[in-house]
């Protein structure tokens, strides 16, 4: 068990106790900083020098900037339209010029004299074609040092070369105001206990925490802040990995019921009936799961794999191993469409005899009262060994006879409380298996899922057909719009079926979980695309997002699709309506399905050969990859058309191009990581989880994270409760906010 929380650290002190209430309030309002530790973790974003100037001609209009520059000249002029004067100060970098404008503040000319250098902060504006800062904040460098900096004085030269920390600032709090507050705190900060043990610091040649903070915030030379950042970056990785490994160890102290398959039992019967050989990856991951289930501690395993790689089969085999001992398995799916698909797939895989014995049952929120009562009775009595459902499984009304395994599909769609509520329905802690078709780079897996054992399936089953992917760039090739529908018609004429995916249901309604109008995809900021609205030829005429309603009407009206059976599918339809449409599509009774991303995961229609994604730039890389995985699942080669209006040089277009360039989901996951802001990546995976990283970067610090994990594991093996390492225990507590601690406790 974790040790009791240690005495508060000086870093936990309220900021008001160090700075006074007024300044502390400004810091909290501007940056959300509440404690001394918060302020000292508000690290400089870059460093400037007194002797250097900023490239003024590269400053972006409309953005707040902090720059180093030199005053060129100053002039005061009387305003024509009203009383008063304007003080105009031109500053320069030797090439570009920027004007500082002050209204009725002529007294500033006493400080802002030609030749003076300093730091200037404000929003870049434009006045008659010239860039300016209106009423900027500024702080001039020490004139006495500046005066002698050019005549060989060693102290002055050192002063000129000393890095100036430039902090993330706001309109109300300038960088140097943050700097002064940090200096006040550092001047009064007592000694700090370092969460990284001294032997580890010595081995890695890292400075202690107190010294690292000084070097980062008050460096005398460049090497100082680099050394400080090295130490603080490792500390961040070490504390995070210690927290994850401690939680993992805590889970293993609880007792679970061991579940093992019997010779000649249910699992062997399933394997014998499979019409194909399992891939080597499926066999390997299956053996890892079998070993976990046979132990008397709860399994807590993440299985990641490409779309169509066989994760559901791996999960089904685990369910049968649990059923051998009389236990039940619950599969939690994010949508009713996917839950229904999972149930049908499980029943089909089991065959009539095993299905009759195990009685798989579906439980969703939109079932009738009578259907739910019948399903709930089968679950509580133990007659049903396999239960598939949505959030309805979490309801207080649902009780299990002997819940032995929880399978969470597409775990990032669920919150911490939902997963934990289902797990608590077991009399003993059930085993947990998490599935994701979103490939996760190794460093992200260590950072976000470090408390889970991770298995990976990369090998696709034999018979999967290749998928050709093409970008349809309507911004520069508007004439290609007609070809989208012609190509779809050609596939339908061959007896195949087509998916068309839109981000919105109608002009006013975005599908739940999709980006709003004008926003980028859920995984990166992007600007708009176009909607097809029924105009002749199908060329999208406006930047509005494509909608199921408009595209369905368009497809039904196009001569090239005359006779094609076109139907819509979206999240606003009832469960029965959605299920009916999907089953008809699966039976080949619908030729072209216009849908939102309700078909993103799990939908299996082998005869579907073509995936058209309209406004592809509005979706993230992993979404596009999963949508593409809906085709090429039968005997026909797959075709994916990614339709976009995004300009060729935009990040949104770069995402779409990346997906078209490769079918390797793990390669795309790395591209995704590089294109997106890191916080977006982590937050989309952790569902209300851990607080954001400060200096650590999963894109570049993979080796460092691995080293930190090794040292954390060694320390926790020797001191699981951290009783001998109170500073590390305190750092873990400080690192995680309340919601994060809930996340960690939920596993």
pLDDT at 140: 82
Predicted confidence band of residue 495 (pLDDT cuts 50, 70, 90): very high
Least confident of 202-211, 242-251, 461-470, 483-492: 461-470
Q: Residues with Cβ < 8 Å from 385, sequence gap 6 or more?
A: 319, 322, 323, 327, 328, 329, 357, 358, 359, 360
Pair type for strands 97-103 and 130-134: parallel
Contact 521, 623 (CB under 8 A): yes
pLDDT in tens, 412-427: 555 556 667 777 888 8
Q: Which two tokens stand for residue 99?
A: 């004007």
For residue 234, what pLDDT is reported?
96
The CATH number, out of the four listed (3.90.190.10, 2.40.50.180, 3.40.630.10, 3.40.50.300), of the domain defined by the range 266-457: 3.40.50.300
CA-to-CA distance for 409 and 420, rounded, in angstroms?
A: 14
pLDDT at 151: 42
Alpha carbons within 13 angstroms on the beta-carbon side of residue 61 total: 6
List pLDDT tens digits, range 364-378: 888 888 998 999 999
CATH placement of domain 467-662: 3.40.50.300
Over the stretch 531-542, which tens digit does the pLDDT of each residue have? Answer: 333 333 443 334
pLDDT given at position 632? 81
Q: Where are the domains of the chain?
A: 46-166, 266-457, 467-662
pLDDT at site 536: 33
Kindly report the average pLDDT of the chain as a whole number: 81
Do domains 266-457 and 467-662 share one topology? The answer is yes
| Rg of the Cα atoms in the chain | 31
CA neighbor of 361 nearest in space, from 349, 342, 369, 352: 342
* pLDDT the model gives residue 154: 57
Would you state the pLDDT for residue 689? 38
pLDDT number for residue 593:
96
**pLDDT at 316 (0 to 100):** 94
CB 499 within 8 A of CB 613: no
Q: What percent of the chain has pLDDT over 70?
A: 82
pLDDT band at 142 (very low <50, low <70, confident <90, very high): low
pLDDT band at 742 (very low <50, low <70, confident <90, very high): very low
- pLDDT (mean) for 282-291: 94
Mean pLDDT confidence for 245-269: 86
Q: Answer whether 618's CB lies under 8 Å from 520's CB.
A: yes
Among 309-313, 355-359, 445-449, 707-711, whose mean pLDDT is lowest?
445-449
Residue 362: pLDDT band with limits 50, 70, 90 = very high
- CATH code of 46-166, in short, is 2.40.50.140
Residue 388: band (very low, low, confident or very high) from pLDDT cuts 50, 70, 90: very high
Per-residue pLDDT at 589 exceeds 60? yes
Q: Which residues of 439-454 are buried (b: 16+ CB within 10 A; e: fewer)?
A: bbbbbbbbbbbbbbeb
CA separation for the pair 197, 715 (Å, rounded): 9
pLDDT digits (tens, 9 = 90+) for 160-175: 567 888 888 887 788 8
pLDDT above 80 for 292: yes
Q: What is the mean pLDDT of residues 8-27?
A: 88
Q: Do residues 279 and 310 lie in contact, with contact meaning Cβ atoms separated by under 8 Å?
A: yes
Q: If we measure between CA atoms, which residue out of 611, 620, 665 comes closest to residue 643? A: 611
pLDDT band at 448 (very low <50, low <70, confident <90, very high): low
Instruction: pLDDT band for 42, please (50, 70, 90 cuts).
Output: very high
Split at pLDDT 50, 70, 90, the class of 487 is very high
User: Strands 431-436, 300-305: parallel, antiparallel or unpaired by DSSP?
Assistant: parallel
CB distance 590 to 480 below 8 Å: no
Question: 369 or 61, which is more confident?
Answer: 369
Distance of alpha carbon 347 from alpha carbon 333, whole angstroms = 16
């Amino acid at each position: 068990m974790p040790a009791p929380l240690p005495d508060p650290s000086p870093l936990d002190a309220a900021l008001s106790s160090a700075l006074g209430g007024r300044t502390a309030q400004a810091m909290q309002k501007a940056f959300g900083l509440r404690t001394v530790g918060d302020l000292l973790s508000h690290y400089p974003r870059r460093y400037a020098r007194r002797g250097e100037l900023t490239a003024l001609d590269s400053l972006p209009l409309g953005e707040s900037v902090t720059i180093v520059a030199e005053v060129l000249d100053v002039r005061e002029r009387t305003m024509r339209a009203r009383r008063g004067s304007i003080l105009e100060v031109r500053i320069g970098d030797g090439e570009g010029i920027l004007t500082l404008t002050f209204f009725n503040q002529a007294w500033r000319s006493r400080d802002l004299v030609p030749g003076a250098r300093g730091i200037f902060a404000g929003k870049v504006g434009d006045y008659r074609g010239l860039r300016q800062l209106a009423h900027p904040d500024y702080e001039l460098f020490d004139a006495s040092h500046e005066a002698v900096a050019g005549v060989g004085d060693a102290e002055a030269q050192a002063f000129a070369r000393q890095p100036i920390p430039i902090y993330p600032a706001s309109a109300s709090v300038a960088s140097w105001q943050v700097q002064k507050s940090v200096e006040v705190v550092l001047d009064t900060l007592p000694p700090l206990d370092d969460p990284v043990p001294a032997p580890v610091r010595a081995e890695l040649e890292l400075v202690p925490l107190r010294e690292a903070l000084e070097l980062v915030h008050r460096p005398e030379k460049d090497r100082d802040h680099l050394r400080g950042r090295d130490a603080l970056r490792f500390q961040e990785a070490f504390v995070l990995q210690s927290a994850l490994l401690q939680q993992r160890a805590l889970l293993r102290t609880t007792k679970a019921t061991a579940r093992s398959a019997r010779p000649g039992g249910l699992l062997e019967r399933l394997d014998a009936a499979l019409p194909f050989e399992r891939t080597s990856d499926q066999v390997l991951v299956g053996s890892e799961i079998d070993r976990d289930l046979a132990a008397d501690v709860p399994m807590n395993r993440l299985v990641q794999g490409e779309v169509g790689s066989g994760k559901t089969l791996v999960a089904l085999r685990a369910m049968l191993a649990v059923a051998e001992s009389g236990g039940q398995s619950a599969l939690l799916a994010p949508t009713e469409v996917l839950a229904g698909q999972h149930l049908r797939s499980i029943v089909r895989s089991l065959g009539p005899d095993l299905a009759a014995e195990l009685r798989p049952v579906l439980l969703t929120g939109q079932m009738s009262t009578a259907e739910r009562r019948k399903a709930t009775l089968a679950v509580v009595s133990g007659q049903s060994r396999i239960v598939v459902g949505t959030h309805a499984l979490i309801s207080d009304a649902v009780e299990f006879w002997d819940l032995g395994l929880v399978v969470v599909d597409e775990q990032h769609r669920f919150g911490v409380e939902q997963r934990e509520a289902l797990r608590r329905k077991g009399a003993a802690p059930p085993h947990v298996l998490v599935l994701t078709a979103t490939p996760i780079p190794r460093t992200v897996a260590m950072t976000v899922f470090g408390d889970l054992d991770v298995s990976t399936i990369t090998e696709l089953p034999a018979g999967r057909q290749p998928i050709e992917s093409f970008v349809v760039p309507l911004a520069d090739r508007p004439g290609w719009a007609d070809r989208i529908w012609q190509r779809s018609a050609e596939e339908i004429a061959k007896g195949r079926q087509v998916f068309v995916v839109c981000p919105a249901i109608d002009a006013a309604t975005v599908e739940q979980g999709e980006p709003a109008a004008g926003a980028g995809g859920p995984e990166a900021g992007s600007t708009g695309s176009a909607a097809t609205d029924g105009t002749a030829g199908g060329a999208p005429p406006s930047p509005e997002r494509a909608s199921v309603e408009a595209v369905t009407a368009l497809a039904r009206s196009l001569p090239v699709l005359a006779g094609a059976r076109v139907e819509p599918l979206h999240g606003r339809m009832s469960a029965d309506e959605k299920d009916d449409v999907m089953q008809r599509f699966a039976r080949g009774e619908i030729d072209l399905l216009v849908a939102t991303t309700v078909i993103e995961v799990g939908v299996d229609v082998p005869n579907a050969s073509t995936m058209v994604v309209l406004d592809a730039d509005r979706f993230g890389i992993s979404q596009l990859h999963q949508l593409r995985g809906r085709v090429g699942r039968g005997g026909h080669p797959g075709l994916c058309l990614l339709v976009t209006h995004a300009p060729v040089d935009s990040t949104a277009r770069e995402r779409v191009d990346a997906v078209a360039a490769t079918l390797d989901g793990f390669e795309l996951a790395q591209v995704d990581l590089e294109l997106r802001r890191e916080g977006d990546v982590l937050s989309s995976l952790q569902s209300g989880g851990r607080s954001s990283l400060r200096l650590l970067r999963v894109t570049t610090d993979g080796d460092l994270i691995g080293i930190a994990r090794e040292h954390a594991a060694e320390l926790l093996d020797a001191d699981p409760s951290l009783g001998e390492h109170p500073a590390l225990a305190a750092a873990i507590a400080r690192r995680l906010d309340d919601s994060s601690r809930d996340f960690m406790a939920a596993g």
